Amino acid sequence: MIDLYTAATPNGHKVSIALEELALPYTVHALSLSARDQKEPWFLAINPNGRIPAIIDRAEDDFAVFESGAILIYLAEKTGRLMPSDMKGRSRVLQWLMFQMGGVGPMMGQANVFFRYFPEKLQPVIDRYQGESMRLFRVLDGHLKDHEFLAGDYSIADIANWAWVRTYPWSGLNIDELPHLKRWLDVIDARPAAQRGVVIPPSDIDLTKPEGDKADAFVQGARNMVETGKSRKDGV
């Protein structure tokens, strides 16, 4: 049994999708980020960085794993699925996983902050993060022109990148001129496990549809967290 500590974010969805794909039994513990559940001492004992997601593998002496990429690797290696065992195949998956961890996620995350949440509209900063996100999208589109998935068969690399890229409207981005990326998004969107994973835990908003009263309320809550975070000095 896996205990999953998560919230309805792209990083959280990476792990819930993987657990659904792997058909591993798990229990969801939904954290309220606005209530700062992730900063409570009990959770910091699981993840000292105070971020979701994290898991505890009860079958392995309550072994805790934090960081979404590390969790994906752990689950793939635990089950022998969603990542090849041969050296080159494994490396290809890890390369595209790191592409997401070091590029797509951070750039789209900052685009979200400055396009959606930051109280001031700093257009050069918005342009910087939206532009770099689009550059990374073009890298994906170019690779996917000749590949069905990112690293051979469907893998944790696809799960990690898809969980973020699908939310491109929330970052104020447009992918109309990236047909291979759109094709890949649609293929994974049709997978039942992906459909289940992106609603675990349930959320009031859909990050692929950034308009409406619920989206506005979500933005205000996130803006409050951004403003609170600016003033904190405890490093947590």
pLDDT digits (tens, 9 = 90+) for 57-108: 999 999 999 999 999 999 999 999 999 999 999 999 999 999 999 999 999 9
Among the listed ranges 23-27, 32-36, 202-206, which one has the minimum average pLDDT value? 202-206
* The pLDDT value given to residue 134: 98
Contact assessment for residue 41 and residue 236, using Cβ atoms and an 8 Å cutoff: no
φ and ψ of 6, to 5 deg: -155, 180
How large is the average pLDDT for residues 122-140? 98
* The pLDDT value given to residue 213: 64
Q: For residue 56, give both structure tokens.
A: 């505890």
pTM comes to 0.94
Contact assessment for residue 32 and residue 81, using Cβ atoms and an 8 Å cutoff: no
Cα maximum dimension of the chain: 49
DSSP string covering 143-185, please?
A: HHTS-SSTTSSS-HHHHHHHHHHTTGGGGT---TT-HHHHHHH
Of 86 and 219, the one with more pLDDT:
86
State the pLDDT confidence band at 205, using cuts at 50, 70 and 90. confident
The number of helix segments (H) and strand segments (E) in the chain equals 10, 4
How large is the average pLDDT for residues 16-38? 96
* The pLDDT value given to residue 209: 85
Among the listed ranges 40-49, 143-152, 163-172, 203-212, which one has the minimum average pLDDT value? 203-212
228 has pLDDT over 80: no
State the pLDDT confidence band at 148, using cuts at 50, 70 and 90. very high
**Nearest residue to 185 via CA among 166, 199, 172:** 166
* The pLDDT value given to residue 227: 55
236 has pLDDT over 70: no
Q: How many residues does the chain have?
A: 236
pLDDT in tens, 158-181: 999 999 999 999 999 999 999 999
Q: How far apart are CA 79 and CA 75, in angstroms?
A: 6
Q: For residue 29, give both structure tokens.
A: 């513990």
Burial 169-203 (b: 16+ CB within 10 A, else e): ebbbbebeebebbeebbebbeebebbeebbebeeb
For a pLDDT cut of 90, what percent of the chain falls above it? 85
54-57 vs 63-66, strand pairing mode: antiparallel
* The pLDDT value given to residue 233: 54
